[in-house]
Amino acid sequence: PHPLLTALLLLSGVVDLQTGLSEFSVLQRRLKHGWNEFSVDATEPIWKKYLDQFKNPLILLLLASALVSVITKEYEDAASITMAVLIVVTVAFIQEYRSEKSLEELNKLVPPECNCLREGKLQHLLARELVPGDIIYLSVGDRVPADLRLIEVTDLLVDESSFTGEAEPCNKTDGVLLEAGDITTLSNVVFMGTLVRYGKGKGVVIGTGENSQFGEVFKMMQAEETPKTPLQKSMDRLGKQLTLFSFGIIGLIMLIGWLQGKHLLSMFTIGVSLAVAAIPEGLPIVVTVTLVLGVLRMAKKRVIVKKLPIVETLGCCNVICSDKTGTLTANEMTVTRLVTSDGFQAEVSGVGYNGEGNVYLLPSKEILKEFSNVSVGKLVEAGCVVNNAIIRKNSVIGQPTEGALLALAMKMELADIKDSYARKKEIPFSSEQKWMAVKCTLKNQDQEDIYFMKGAFEEVIRYCTMYNSSGISLMLTPQQKASYQQEEKRMGSSGLRVLALASGSELGKLTFLGLVGIIDPPRAGVKEAVQVLVESGVSVKMITGDALETAVAIGQNIGLCNGKLKAMSGEELDQVADIHLIPSCVFVFQISIFFRTSPKHKLKIIKALQRAGAIVSMTGDGVNDAVALKSADIGIAMGQAGTDVSKEAANMILVDDDFSTVM
């Protein structure tokens, strides 16, 4: 069994689940396990950061030549060289310091808090104060403060996209699991940093700080070295060549003088003067000024660049690897297709939890509002009523799929229709029954109760005896069911998550209304950005933890490899034994989508591409991207959606999460 779970079994004997830990045992455990936080190396003092700028071989060579100029009494040369060096170093230092400060602003988010049971009282604590054995209460909207083994849950759905890359929230249980699996797939454990989307739960802390799953990734990330940029490598090479060249000149001239019987000291002076003259004092200034201009241009596009040479790497980059969820897509579920029970098809534009976008009837592309098409109107109305989510300030409180149905109603101008119904009863969703229903009546009218149901097609259709045809209920035939089944399969195979909707006066005799296809679609501008990159010879690859169908659907939508997609799973990647040999590296070049990947797989892919001679950029936002972000030639993190760990690992941060700014 996993060490955390073993630790839990030991803890459970000591923790009273009704009263929680006592202050004394909290102190004891804190001495043993430490605070629930990550020890990032203490930030270096400013003077040390300034001195670090002098480590560049060219700068050291220039300083050496200034020193020689002083010895040979060429004071003007010495002054001008020193001046040049100071300008270069100061400009680079100021620029990097400014980037660091703007990054600190981004990371000044609210310190995570949680509800914890101690000494029989429910207390509101900072997450850093937790120790293994503490009992935590979770509710909708909470960030999980540490790794927990669940002991009580009610319909708990947790968004683990920052860990696994799956946009769909995971269903959690509190039972004992019969077969042992990988810790990250256990349904009775929730992980630090994930988000509670629905339901509530109670759990015992089993891993804090660096002993959590989050901590494992953090340690992997710190073990990785950031590679030197192409510019740094070529400047280092130039510095070394110039040094050898200078010593060569001095030696050669002294040898010639000695053979001619000249005075050795004056020959040495001439040799040194020639060597100093051969060193390009202007080069570092030109390079630094050019890079600073690049960084300032990026800053105008709302991109923070941590280190100056990174700007040049962006220009040399010939492979861009990108995470899907939260990077190419916004991690916001959106309805994109509608199919009504009487055969009308519609597509929906717009992304995210807002009313921007329209519903277009196919093939005429007529824009639909309210009940201008009765069948579509009834389908959208049902999705809005059988719903517990709220959209506030363009973000959803509750389940993402329900948020998508509300945004759809907003586009159809039907969002307020929910208020005309009074809800009497709700039959909540459960993983066994795979549907949810509400029983309502129309306010101010003495009509009979109406049930609205939504869920998986094969479950919902079992409760239906009729189907809706332009507002009239007709008997459902086996042929009709078969055609819906086919439509549902077709939508599913194109990567959509399909929900069926029905309504009626009693649960066994509902009227089927149609199907809704939901996906986390690409961000605005991503398709155009990918096209420009591919046309300019940059290869774009998607690396995601999500399933094949969803990954391929997004890949085709944004035009990866002009529709010729080759996909490979993390498991298949493990079977390529000699990935560090050149033939395998070239083989990785030909694949455009990697799915079901873990942080280790992402790292493996980046390293293989680098071995094949590529200069690789990685864009990502999640904890699972951090290691790859650090080991790529250029790591690009998302400023808004990104986790702190990914921003720490990256060299560049897109403040507005706009993928197209990398061009």
388, 561 Cβ separation under 8 angstroms:
no
| CB < 8 Å & 24+ apart, contacts of 185-191 | 188/149, 188/150, 189/4, 189/5, 189/147, 189/148, 189/149, 189/150, 190/138, 190/144, 190/147, 190/148, 190/150, 190/156, 190/158, 191/144, 191/147, 191/160, 191/163
Going by their DSSP bridges, the two strands 464-469 and 510-519 should be labelled as parallel
CB 338 within 8 A of CB 514: yes
Quote the tokens at residue 554: 């997004």
Neighbours of 563 (CB within 10 A): 8
Q: Taking the chain, what is the end-to-end CA distance rounded to the nearest angstrom?
A: 47
**How many whole angstroms from its chain centre is CA 126?**
25
Which helix H or strand E contains 422, and what residues bound it? Answer: strand 421-427
Burial grade of 345 (CB within 10 A; 0-12, 13-18, 19 or more): middle
Q: Which residues are catalytic?
A: 323
Cα–Cα distance measured from residue 194 to residue 626, given in angstroms and rounded to the nearest whole number: 15
Task: Please state, in angstroms and as integers, the Cα–Cα distance from residue 268 to each residue in 58, 250, 262, following that order.
Answer: 22, 6, 11
The pairs formed by 450-453 with CB atoms below 8 angstroms and a separation of 24 or more are 450/421, 450/503, 450/504, 450/505, 451/503, 451/504, 451/505, 451/506, 451/507, 451/510, 452/382, 452/385, 452/386, 452/501, 452/502, 452/503, 453/382, 453/386, 453/501, 453/502, 453/503, 453/507, 453/510
> Which residues are CB-contacts of 299 (< 8 A; sequence separation ≥ 6)?
305
163: left (phi over 0), alpha (psi -120 to 50) or beta: alpha
Decide if 505 contacts 448 (C-beta within 8 A): yes
Q: Length of the chain in residues, anyone?
A: 663
- Rounded to an integer, what distance in angstroms lies between the CA atom of residue 20 and that of residue 114? 14
